[in-house]
């Protein structure tokens, strides 16, 4: 395997009974690359990302991250290595403010758990980095707002801030635009554009406008198998992709 890739997956396989949900899957992601995984419902996208994050153990194959085999590595060790799935850090406290929640994520990034919540949220040394993270995702003026009062789009922005607090080399983003309005999705795309290059991203997403705006490369997953990988233009023009996933609907592309 070439050392130029941050993430290298080879022959990843997962079975549930007689059903092969991940079927010999290969993937390469370079430093700073945005790589999107698309596919119809039931294609195995969530199962794939669960295996990459460490929440589900594959039945076969290899996952190499930063040159280290991690197929048997626990979730928290993968996070410490720089692989973070967005919702892994958003066990949010809805009665706490947005700022306090990001402070907890900043504290977690130092290698400590969320153990003693009240002392942590009183730690002034965490305030400045947490405020900077909130500002970076467009929530600079909403730090004192309780999470329970935030709209869905703002919660997803908070989720991004908490993920960034872990200083990830690779962000695993599982449908970050889910449930968003068109305006909120456009704002999230803009935020991700601002941090691209500093972090590699694996983006699982149904919003094709977002995918084609963000992705350097796209892999199309159908029944657990990658049927095509290429640039957005190559995927647009691939007849197998149109037939298997996009349904020959020109307006989708």
Q: What pLDDT, on the 0 to 100 scale, is given for residue 91?
A: 60
Q: Tell me: pLDDT of 251 over 60.
A: no
Say whether domain 1-82+169-253 belongs to CATH 3.40.50.300: yes
Beta bridge mates, 34: 201
Domains 1-82+169-253 and 86-167 share a fold: yes
User: Residue ranges of the alpha helices (H) in 91-199?
Assistant: 98-109, 117-121, 127-136, 152-164, 182-195
pLDDT-above-70 percentage for the chain:
89
State the pairing for strand pair 60-65/225-230. Answer: unpaired
Contact at 8 Å (CB) between 195 and 164?
yes
Q: What pLDDT, on the 0 to 100 scale, is given for residue 250?
A: 45
Q: Tell me: pLDDT of 1 over 80.
A: no
**CA 53, CA 113: separation in Å to the nearest integer?**
19
Q: What is the mean pLDDT of residues 167-194?
A: 93
What are the sequence ranges of the domains in the chain?
A: 1-82+169-253, 86-167
Long-range own/partner contacts, residues 144-150 (CB < 8 A, 24 or more apart): 144/97, 144/98, 144/99, 145/97, 145/98, 146/94, 146/95, 146/96, 146/97, 146/98, 147/92, 147/93, 147/94, 147/95, 147/96, 147/97, 147/98, 147/101, 148/94, 148/95, 150/98
In this structure, what token pair is assigned to residue 6? 């941050």
- How far lies 201's CA from each of 97, 131, 159, 207, in Å? 27, 23, 15, 16
Q: What is the pLDDT of residues 55-75, one digit of tens each?
A: 999 999 999 999 999 999 999
Give the range among 119-128, 147-156, 195-204, 237-246 with minimum mean pLDDT: 119-128
Q: What pLDDT, on the 0 to 100 scale, is given for residue 87?
A: 65
Task: Considering the domain delimited by 86-167, tell me its CATH architecture.
Answer: 3-Layer(aba) Sandwich (3.40)
Distance of alpha carbon 148 from its chain centroid, rounded? 23
Q: What pLDDT, on the 0 to 100 scale, is given for residue 75?
A: 92
pLDDT-based confidence at residue 240 (cuts at 50, 70, 90): confident
Q: Tell me: pLDDT of 126 over 70.
A: yes
Calculate ∠ Cα 62-67-69, nearest 5°: 35
pTM of the model: 0.88
| DSSP-derived secondary structure letter, 246 | I
**CA 132, CA 126: separation in Å to the nearest integer?**
10
Q: What is the mean pLDDT of residues 19-23?
A: 95
Q: Tell me: pLDDT of 252 over 60.
A: no
Q: What pLDDT, on the 0 to 100 scale, is given for residue 248?
A: 47
Q: What is the mean pLDDT of residues 120-143?
A: 88
How close are the terminal C-alpha atoms of the chain, in Å? 33
pLDDT-above-90 percentage for the chain:
70
How many Cβ atoms are within 10 Å of 202's Cβ, its own excluded? 24
């Amino acid at each position: 395997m070439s050392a130029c890739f941050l993430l290298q997956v080879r022959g990843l396989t997962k079975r549930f009974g007689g059903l092969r949900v991940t079927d010999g899957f290969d993937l390469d992601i370079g430093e700073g690359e945005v790589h999107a995984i698309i596919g119809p419902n039931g294609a195995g996208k969530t199962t794939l990302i669960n295996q990459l994050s460490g929440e589900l153990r594959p039945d076969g194959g290899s996952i190499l991250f930063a040159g280290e085999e991690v197929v048997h590595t626990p979730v928290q060790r993968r996070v410490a290595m720089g692989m973070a799935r967005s919702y892994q850090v958003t066990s949010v406290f809805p009665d706490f403010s947005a700022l306090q929640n990001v402070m907890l994520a900043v504290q977690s990034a130092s290698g400590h758990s969320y153990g003693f919540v009240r002392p942590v949220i009183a730690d002034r040394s965490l305030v400045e980095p947490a405020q900077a993270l909130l500002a970076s995702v467009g929530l600079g003026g909403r730090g004192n707002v309780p999470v329970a009062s935030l709209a869905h789009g703002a919660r997803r922005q908070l989720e991004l801030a908490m993920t960034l607090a872990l200083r990830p080399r690779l962000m695993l983003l599982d449908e970050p635009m889910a449930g968003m309005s068109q305006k909120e999705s456009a704002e999230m795309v803009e935020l991700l554009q601002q941090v691209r290059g500093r972090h590699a991203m694996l983006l699982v997403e149904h919003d094709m406008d977002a995918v084609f705006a963000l992705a350097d490369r796209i892999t199309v997953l159908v029944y657990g198998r990658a049927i095509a990988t290429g640039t957005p233009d190559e995927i647009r023009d691939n007849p197998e992709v149109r037939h298997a996933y996009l349904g020959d609907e020109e307006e989708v592309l």
